Amino acid sequence: MTDPHPAASRGFSTSEFERRTDAAQKIMAQCGLDAMLLTTEPEVRYFTGFDTIFWLSPTRPWFVVVPSKGKPIAVIPEIGAPSMSLTWVTDIRTWLAPRPEDDGITLLTDTLHEVMPNDGTLGLPMGHETHVRMPAADFRRLQSGLDGISIADGTDVVRSLRMVKSEAEITKIARMCSIASSAFADLPNHIKAGDTERQAFAKFKIDLLQKGADDVPYLVGSSGPGGFTDVINRPTDRVIIEGDMLLLDTGSLYDGYSCDFDRNFAFGHASDAAKTAYDLAWRATEAGLQAARPGITTTELWATMGKVLEDGGCSGHQIGRMGHGLGMQVTEWPSLMAGDDTMIEADMVLTLEPGLAFGDGKMMLHEENIVIREGGAELLTRRAARDLPIIT
Amino acid sequence: MTDPHPAASRGFSTSEFERRTDAAQKIMAQCGLDAMLLTTEPEVRYFTGFDTIFWLSPTRPWFVVVPSKGKPIAVIPEIGAPSMSLTWVTDIRTWLAPRPEDDGITLLTDTLHEVMPNDGTLGLPMGHETHVRMPAADFRRLQSGLDGISIADGTDVVRSLRMVKSEAEITKIARMCSIASSAFADLPNHIKAGDTERQAFAKFKIDLLQKGADDVPYLVGSSGPGGFTDVINRPTDRVIIEGDMLLLDTGSLYDGYSCDFDRNFAFGHASDAAKTAYDLAWRATEAGLQAARPGITTTELWATMGKVLEDGGCSGHQIGRMGHGLGMQVTEWPSLMAGDDTMIEADMVLTLEPGLAFGDGKMMLHEENIVIREGGAELLTRRAARDLPIIT
């Protein structure tokens, strides 16, 4: 069987990790950061290539230090050493975790003192969409062991780098979007009125895996007569019946890179209100597709889609975030919303996600994934049908 | 088709959430905590029933406050209000997230001042296996807005409660363990030499979903000639051949509760060294099964299994953690290891997971899931075969 989806090789070349590290070190120098401390999965993977689902276990912390020069240093539990040694990282320091009385803190402190001046500044992502993945008590211990080293917010280093994707990253997202587009296109062949939400979602998930997704960590949605009222639900045992609307929204993974888009379906028939809401969301997305290009801001792009919704009768209150960055995570910086004001650049991967409320508190949500090129937006998803698909 | 697996109803009764909250409030009173702040998925779900995969998105923080009396209070992004309103929680306070300049911090601060004395103590899980899931800069802002309120480590509140499971929780884990046991039993019918690791793992994952797992978030393992050297890997494109050993280890979910166990297979034939290592790990597990009961400590249970490994020729250095708690997360408190010293109680759900190195750096890992009853351990998994299964 020929593979109908865009090719994407697995992993990254060492030169890609070198480029990422060099770029981070340039920004660190501009910001006066002598090293960066990374504690979360996407950041560790971004700089090292270390790719394991072991992060699901809350038991062990994992640390990566990006010094001002040279390669990242891994300070990790011994159990991760074989996997980390397959990456480009060569300086791998381990301890036998779990060891609650000193779960890597001494090892990390020593490493930081080794690579930083005594009065240096350590960058740590502390801003929006970040958290510090280690026990707060251990973080306090780390701080007190740093002596003259101070900690500053290093969010901008990872944010500015991760927002703009390499071609290798884009091909992985493009492949995943193509696989999910095929699964959405086939969905009417698999699901029918009479299925429970749980059955319908399970069939979709299995089809995604059979079509080549590595994993389907994110799958939410909802069904209801004439529409649905919630868009972040897990499926329930509710039986889908004629007259229902159904939304499925997936963040599936190919080689650690995500799609994030949804599709709407009606069963048997649809109300004029639902068709009108679908049309409005479709047109708002279309306006976003036409407008997205380097040199406008996320807020201008948001306003362009918002104008379509407002002209269609939505109140300003309903118009919140209408898209976001996409990559290793199902949602990433930036946000398409008022006040974000991020300048859009070539090779950003974004979702366009206009939504609105209609009728009696029902919701309509469209979503497409795009990559920004010099000439404008390129669709990574196969565009949603022009008219609300009706499964009969 | 009749369902061959133990029945487990979905969700929990309101009285279960009341019991959990009452129990937490009793411990909080003993510890001098006037309220608890919860920021992570399992804790929020434990006290509210709020169950969404939306946590995968790093964009928004979610807060739950457990006051000294009365029901938990949700302080959450507006997008979660419909789902939260389906739970037993009635006091739901929302803001339009994302709002980086004040992402719920004012709302949370006001809520804490409302339910706590001005010089009160706020419990926050800060210990081993916890983290604070909100931007560190926002946490600093929260702290400075608390005025006279101090923050103390509240890990013991959630740790002591979550370690001992209710019957409703145990039935969900039992059902998941049964489903995965069936999938492991059927595995030799699905996979064969010539499959890549990725193909073999994908078939196993799809079979788990078809047999009734809601999701398969955790699936790791490895293959290699005569054994494998890494136990936390994702599958690769390596082709499995005659003479290989294969390990699969899954944390699959039923209604938000996890199994966590593995199985070993050989292809075509196995070396005496591998058979001996398998036998040793099997007997260590058996010793753990016999020894596990209320009134001994996690460290004594660990030592019992370790003695078998040591008698079999393993050095002390190799004998690290040999199991852990299991529930909403694939690994939970406590740890079966030196220094843990947690008193084992009835209705704890644990993994027994003795492992050893053999031959040229190869690893052998066994794992079973048990519930502790007054009379001893009850297996939730179907016991691993007495001899190393060979797929021919």
For residue B376, how many C-alpha atoms fall within 13 Å in the half-sphere facing its CB?
7
Which residue ranges in chain A fall short of pLDDT 70? 1, 316-319
Average pLDDT over residues B32-55: 97
pLDDT at position A111 is 98
**Among candidates B61, B217, B199, which has minimal Cα distance to A218?**
B217
- Residue B281 predicted with pLDDT over 80: yes
Q: Do A58 and B135 touch (CB under 8 A)?
A: no
Estimate to the nearest angstrom the gap between the alpha carbon of B365 and the chain centroid: 18
Residues of B in contact with A103 (CB under 8 A): 128
pLDDT at position A1 is 61
Each residue's pLDDT tens digit, B10-37: 999 999 999 999 999 999 999 999 999 9
Question: How many Cβ atoms are within 10 Å of A21's Cβ, its own excluded?
Answer: 22
pLDDT at position B231 is 81
Residues of A in contact with B133 (CB under 8 A): 131
CATH of domain A14-163: 3.40.350.10
Question: Which has more confidence, B155 or B316?
Answer: B155
pLDDT at position B360 is 86
Which of B78, B229, B251 lies closest to A82 in CB terms? B229
DSSP state, B104? Answer: S
Which of A100, A129, A133 lies closest to B59 in CB terms? A129
Task: Quote the tokens at residue B120.
Answer: 């009160």
Backbone angles phi and psi of A242, in degrees to 5: -55, 135
Q: Report the distance separating Cα B250 and Cα B258, nearest Å.
A: 9
The confidence band for B340, taking pLDDT boundaries of 50, 70 and 90, is very high
- If you count residue pairs, one on A and one on B, with CB atoms under 8 Å apart, how many are there? 166
Q: Do B132 and A132 touch (CB under 8 A)?
A: yes
Task: Quote the tokens at residue A39.
Answer: 């504690």
Beta strand B368-373 pairing with B63-67: unpaired
Residues of A in contact with B143 (CB under 8 A): none
Q: Report the distance separating Cα B96 and Cα B380, nearest Å.
A: 43
Task: Quote the tokens at residue B143.
Answer: 């702290």
B115 by DSSP, 3-state: which? helix
Asked if the C-beta of A190 comes within 8 angstroms of chain B's C-beta atoms, the answer is no
- The residue written with tokens 């992060």 in the block is A55
Which of B56, B220, B229 lies closest to A330 in CB terms? B56
pLDDT at position A317 is 59
Average pLDDT over residues B223-235: 89
Residues of A in contact with B332 (CB under 8 A): 58
| ipTM surpasses cut 0.90 | yes
Residues of A in contact with B219 (CB under 8 A): 53
Sign of the torsion angle spanned by Cα atoms B76, B81, B87, B93: positive
pLDDT at position B87 is 97
Asked if the C-beta of A199 comes within 8 angstroms of chain B's C-beta atoms, the answer is no
User: Does the fold of domain B167-391 match that of domain B14-163?
Assistant: no
Kind plus residue range of the DSSP H or E element containing A305: helix A298-311
Tell me the C-alpha to C-alpha distance, in Å, between residue B47 and each of A174, B72, B294, B379. 40, 7, 26, 28
Listed by start position, the domains of chain A span: 14-163, 167-391
> For chain B, what is the largest distance between any 2 Cα atoms, rounded to a whole number of angstroms?
70
pLDDT at position B119 is 97
Interface of A with B in 72-111 (CB under 8 A): 79-80, 82-83, 96, 98, 100-101, 103
Q: Do B233 and A52 touch (CB under 8 A)?
A: yes
Q: Do A135 and B126 touch (CB under 8 A)?
A: yes
Each residue's pLDDT tens digit, A13-25: 999 999 999 999 9
Each residue's pLDDT tens digit, B77-120: 999 999 999 999 999 999 999 999 999 999 999 999 999 999 99
- The residue written with tokens 């090292």 in the block is A48
pLDDT at position A316 is 65
- Residue B318 predicted with pLDDT over 80: no
pLDDT at position A361 is 87
Q: Which CATH number fits domain A167-391: 3.30.420.40, 1.10.150.530, 3.40.50.11540, 3.90.230.10?
A: 3.90.230.10
pLDDT at position B230 is 83
Contact status, residue B157 vs residue B130, Cβ threshold 8 Å = no
**Among candidates B237, B217, B230, which has minimal Cα distance to A9?**
B237
Contact status, residue A299 vs residue B26, Cβ threshold 8 Å = no
Backbone angles phi and psi of B291, in degrees to 5: -85, -30
Task: Quote the tokens at residue B283.
Answer: 């007997």
